[in-house]
Amino acid sequence: MSPRLVLTGPMGVGKSTVGQLLAERLGVGYRDTDDDIVAAEGREISDIFVEDGEPAFRALEKAAVRQALASHDGVLSLGGGAILDADTRALLAGERVVYLSMDVEEAVRRTGLGAARPLLAVNPRRQWRELMEARRPLYEETATAVVPTDGRTPEEVAEAVLDALELKEA
C-alpha cells in the first residue's frame, strides 16, 4: 500500500487544507502525520518540543511517517521538518511527492509567524528564512512536482496539484 500522493512544504503553506480538498476530489482518505503524533502522544507538537526537545519530536515524526507511508493509500501530509531525516527522504523515493512552496511574505500573511510555531519563537521572519534556506533543497530533492501557493486559494492549489501529477478527480 502506498499513498496516492504526499504533500510536503513549510509550516503554514496549507498542506492540511489542500490535502483534505485533494482527498475529497480524488475520493480517498486524508491523513496528516502531525495529527498522528498529537493523537499518539496526547499533547500538541509545541508541547512535545518544549517538554522533550526537537530530537525527541523528530524521532516520533520519523516513526509516524514510516507508519503512514506503509499503511495509508490516500492523500498524506507531512510535517514541515519531516524531510530533514535522510531515512524519511529515502522512503519518499518513488512516491508522488508534491512540494507546496511559498515565500516569506506569504508565510507572514498566512501564519503571522506566531509563537505557536516552536521553531520560530525568536525573530520569526529571520528564522523562517533560515529554515527555508536549509530545507528548500531537501523539499526539491524529494519532490515529483513543485506547486507554488503564493496568492492562490486552497482550491487553486489543489487544482494545480492535480494538474502537475496528471490525476483525475473521482
CA distance 89 to 39: 24
| 144 is an annotated ligand-binding site residue | no
* Dihedral of alpha carbons 151, 33, 53, 42, sign: positive
Contacts for 48 with CB less than 8 Å, ≥ 6 apart: 37, 41, 56, 57, 60
Per DSSP, the three-state class of 101 is strand
| 34 is an annotated ligand-binding site residue | yes
| 89 is an annotated ligand-binding site residue | no
| 2 is an annotated ligand-binding site residue | no
Amino acid at 131: L
Chain centroid to Cα 42, Å, comes to 20
| 15 is an annotated ligand-binding site residue | yes
CA distance 81 to 156: 25
CA distance 89 to 6: 12
| 58 is an annotated ligand-binding site residue | yes
| 53 is an annotated ligand-binding site residue | no
| 14 is an annotated ligand-binding site residue | yes
| 126 is an annotated ligand-binding site residue | no
| 152 is an annotated ligand-binding site residue | yes
Binding-site entries for ATP:
12-17, 117, 152
Annotated binding site for substrate: 34, 58, 80, 135
Q: Give the annotated binding-site residues for Mg(2+).
A: 16
Annotated binding site: which residue ranges? Answer: 12-17, 34, 58, 80, 117, 135, 152
